Structure 1
Amino acid sequence: MLRYTLMRLGIFVGCLVVVWGLVYSGLAPRGLGASNGMWVVLLALVISAPISFVVLRKERDRASARIVQRVDRVKAGLEANRSQEDQVDDSARAQGQTAEQDRVPEQSQAGGQSKAPAQGQSS
């Protein structure tokens, strides 16, 4: 990605030098009033964009392929974390159900008698 960016910047700087030379030699218009610097930069930008689009096509495709690979790795890592979290959650729930089932037989061994007073009885 850095290589593509530097190549694009190089094309822009080359166009900037050429446009600056053309403007100061009088072959290109100088702009209006004090806008000469801005005119040179904008004209260089407009010229360098289509040149970069055509010349750097292969490098842009390589950079985008690297970006897609990184995104796929991040997605795979997130999916692995999500599945690991699901496994931990499932095992915790299974342990909770086992502990709950262990408590139920203890209550039935006490003879089914409840320690709480029956409703409607007063002391």
Structure 2
Amino acid sequence: MLRYTLMRLGIFVGCLVVVWGAVYSGIAPRGLGNSNGLWIVALALLISAPISLVVLRKERDRASVQVARRVDRMKANLDANRSQEDVADDTTRAQGQAS
């Protein structure tokens, strides 16, 4: 998961540098008024999203498998804890009725 995040961040930073260079060289528009920095970041996000979608497909699939495994383990642990609590509760109730 960390690997995917770092790769995604790297693509964004690369796009940010390219967009910044394009804006300051006059190839891309500068934005409105004082919004130049926000314009550069927004444009870099807009460009990096589809690139990440295509380029990081395999890495995203690996990360989703890891997340699914963690969720399954957590569900199994919760079910095990619930069953232990049920047994303890049943034992306590049975002892209370026997008295």
TM class, shorter-chain normalised?
over 0.9
Residues 39-82 of structure 1: per-residue CA shift (max 9 Å, x gap): 11111110000001111111111111111111111111111011
SS at match of 1:34: coil
Return the alpha-carbon distance in structure 1 between the equivalents of residues 97 and 35 of structure 2: 77
Query: Do residues 37 (structure 1) and 44 (structure 2) align?
Result: no
Q: Which amino acid aligns with 1:30?
A: R
Partner of 1:93: 93
RMSD over equivalenced CA pairs, Å: 1.1
- Aligned-residue sequence identity (percent) comes to 78
SS at match of 2:16: helix
Query: Do residues 78 (structure 1) and 48 (structure 2) align?
Result: no
Q: What TM-score, normalized to structure 1?
A: 0.76
Count of aligned residue pairs for this structure pair: 99
SS at match of 2:68: helix
Query: 1:33: how far off?
Result: 1.9
Higher share of residues assigned helix: 2
Larger radius of gyration: 1
Q: What TM-score, normalized to structure 2?
A: 0.92
Structure 1: tracts of 5 or more residues without a match: 100-123
Q: Which amino acid aligns with 1:21?
A: G
